[in-house]
Amino acid sequence: MIKPNTISIKATGSYVPDHCVSNDDLTQWLDTSHDWINKRTGIHNRRLSMGENTSELCIKAGQNVLKGTSVDPEDIGLIIVATMTPDSQSPSVASQVQAHLKAANAMSFDLNAACSGFVYGLAVAEKMLRHMTLPYALVIGGEVMSKVVDWSDRSTAVLFGDGAGGVLLEKADAKEQFISEDLHTNGDKGHALVSGEKSVSNPLVKGENNLGQLSMDGREIFNFVTKAIPVSIQTVLDSAGRQMEEVDFILLHQANARIIEIMAKKLNCPLDKFPTNIEHYGNTSAASLPILIDELAKEKTILNGNKQTIILSAFGGGLTWGTLLLELN
């Protein structure tokens, strides 16, 4: 049914650095092996920035989103960049994207919900756009995780990669795409993933003031998300009055192929409904879902003009997690 003021995905885009680092490459400085990494995570390669910062990846992803559309950047009212690895605390990455895209009328801000950032960002943008006068919002997830990874810690260094992706949301008289959502935080478990820690240091208080490297209790997060995400997915289905059989694809945050296999089993859903690209990029945090969405859109698996029900679900530092059910058309 056509309704006024509905929000839909108009375009997608992504950008990853050229430099590809294989599991074997990592063995040059880490006590690890392709077999361990592949068996435990499904990762074969990751892209690492050779100097491009998060804003540069996000600007290129944003340009790729707009490429092929006739959208005037001045019609974009909102830019959200989901990232836990901004170039600086100020200016935000989003404000740099705003400048480079010449989106003169857009308000912009960064959103940090670690790997859940893109799902959070979409949920926020969709609601804000409904109340804006301009018709477009750009939501980007972008990370240079290689800046914060401790490259001597094999338990995390093998997992992460760099990249950016995004979608352009449009407000129009059309069919509603955003059907239901389920977003959460459990700050009690925040210690399970810490990155960029900064202690208080001023003339009155002596303290280290360096941005801390990433540390993660992978096992704790693994156990937590394999319980929480199936519940979250069932919640969006129930809220939308849909059955799992009606879902075409479940796009999960690309953190670990084993997590995806466990989800498929727990949800009693065939694995081929869970497209993956973790093999090529590793865990790119907030960039993981928009890169996957863009790849699937480019190959016309989704956003191909056919009616499809898809679920987006992500989890990460915070701990945060969130799921959206979209009906594409």
Active site residues: 115, 253, 283
- Chosen residue from 73, 142, 282, 316 binding ligand ACO by CB under 6 A: 316
Distance, CA of 151 to CA of 45 (rounded, Å): 16
Binding mask 70-109 for ligand ACO (x = CB under 6 A): ----------------------------------------
Q: Contacts with ligand ACO in 154-193 (CB under 6 A)?
A: 154-155, 158, 193
Strand segments, DSSP code E, in 240-318 are: 249-252, 308-316
Q: Contacts with ligand ACO in 43-72 (CB under 6 A)?
A: none
Instruction: Tell whether residue 41 is a contact of ligand ACO (CB under 6 A).
Output: yes
- 33 by Cβ neighbours in 10 Å (0-12 / 13-18 / 19+) ranks as middle
Instruction: Tell whether residue 149 is a contact of ligand ACO (CB under 6 A).
Output: no
Instruction: Tell whether residue 285 is a contact of ligand ACO (CB under 6 A).
Output: yes
Distance, CA of 317 to CA of 300 (rounded, Å): 32
Q: Token pair for residue 95?
A: 């404000």
173-186 burial string, b = 16+ CB within 10 Å, else e? ebeebbbbbbbbee
The amino acid that residue 240 corresponds to is A
Contact between 292 and 310 (Cβ < 8 Å): no
Distances (CA, A) of 119 to 41, 85, 149, 209, 318: 22, 17, 23, 31, 14
Cross-strand bridge partners of residue 308? 328
- Which residue is closest to ligand ACO by CB? 316
The least distance separating ligand ACO from the CB of residue 145, rounded to whole angstroms, comes to 7
Instruction: Tell whether residue 325 is a contact of ligand ACO (CB under 6 A).
Output: no
Instruction: Tell whether residue 221 is a contact of ligand ACO (CB under 6 A).
Output: yes
The least distance separating ligand ACO from the CB of residue 200, rounded to whole angstroms, comes to 24
The least distance separating ligand ACO from the CB of residue 285, rounded to whole angstroms, comes to 4
The least distance separating ligand ACO from the CB of residue 142, rounded to whole angstroms, comes to 13
**Closer by beta carbon to ligand ACO, 41 or else 108:** 41
Cα–chain center distance at 235? 20
**Closer by beta carbon to ligand ACO, 40 or else 100:** 40
Q: Which residues bind ligand ACO (CB under 6 A)?
A: 32, 36-37, 40-41, 114-115, 154-155, 158, 193, 218-219, 221-222, 255-256, 283, 285, 316-317
